[in-house]
Amino acid sequence: MNRPSPKQDVAVIGGGVSGLTTAIVLGERGHRVELFAGKIGMDTTSGRAAAIWFPHHIGNPNDDVSKAAVKEWARATFHSLQSLIPADGRPDANIGISMIEFRIVSRNELPESERPWAPSRDLKPEDLPPNRFFGYSIDVPLIETPVYLRYLEQRLEHKVGAECIHRGAKIGGISAIDVGVSIVVNCAGIDGPDFSRMEDSTAMNPGRGVVILGRTAKSYAILDADEYESGKLMYIVPRRLSGQCVIGGSDTNDRSPTPAVKEIAEIVERCSAADSTLEVETSSALVGLRPLRPKGVRLELEDIDGRAVIHNYGHGGSGFTVSWGCAEEVARIVATITAPATPATDRE
Ligand SMILES: Cc1cc2nc3c(=O)[nH]c(=O)nc-3n(C[C@H](O)[C@H](O)[C@H](O)COP(=O)(O)OP(=O)(O)OC[C@H]3O[C@@H](n4cnc5c(N)ncnc54)[C@H](O)[C@@H]3O)c2cc1C
Write out pLDDT tens, residues 138-147: 999 999 999 9
Atom of ligand 1 nearest to the CA of 15: 49
Does residue 18's CB lie within 6 angstroms of at least one atom of ligand 1? yes
Task: Give the residue, out of 35, 46, 156, with the most ligand 1 atoms within 8 A of its beta carbon, to mutate for a pocket test.
Answer: 46
pLDDT interval class at 75 (50, 70, 90): very high
Atom of ligand 1 nearest to the CA of 189: 27
Task: Look at residue 4 in the predicted model and tell me its pLDDT.
Answer: 60
Report the distance separating Cα 147 and Cα 317, nearest Å.
20
Residue nearest to atom 19 of ligand 1 (CA): 319
| Burial class of residue 19 in the structure, from the number of CB atoms within 10 Å of its CB (0-12 exposed, 13-18 middle, 19+ buried) | buried
Does residue 196's CB lie within 6 angstroms of at least one atom of ligand 1? no
* Mean pLDDT score, 244-268: 95
Does residue 17's CB lie within 6 angstroms of at least one atom of ligand 1? yes
Task: Look at residue 113 in the predicted model and tell me its pLDDT.
Answer: 81
Task: Look at residue 321 in the predicted model and tell me its pLDDT.
Answer: 98
Encode pLDDT of 180-217 as tens digits. Answer: 999 999 999 999 999 999 876 567 899 999 999 999 99
pLDDT above 90 coverage of the chain, percent: 82
Question: At residue 30, what are phi and psi to the nearest 5 degrees?
Answer: 100, 5
64-82 and 323-336 helices, crossing angle to 10°: 110
Residue type, 154: Q
Q: How far is the CA of 182 from the centre of ligand 1 (A)?
A: 25
Stronger pLDDT, 291 or 204, i.e. the higher one: 291
pLDDT above 70 coverage of the chain, percent: 94
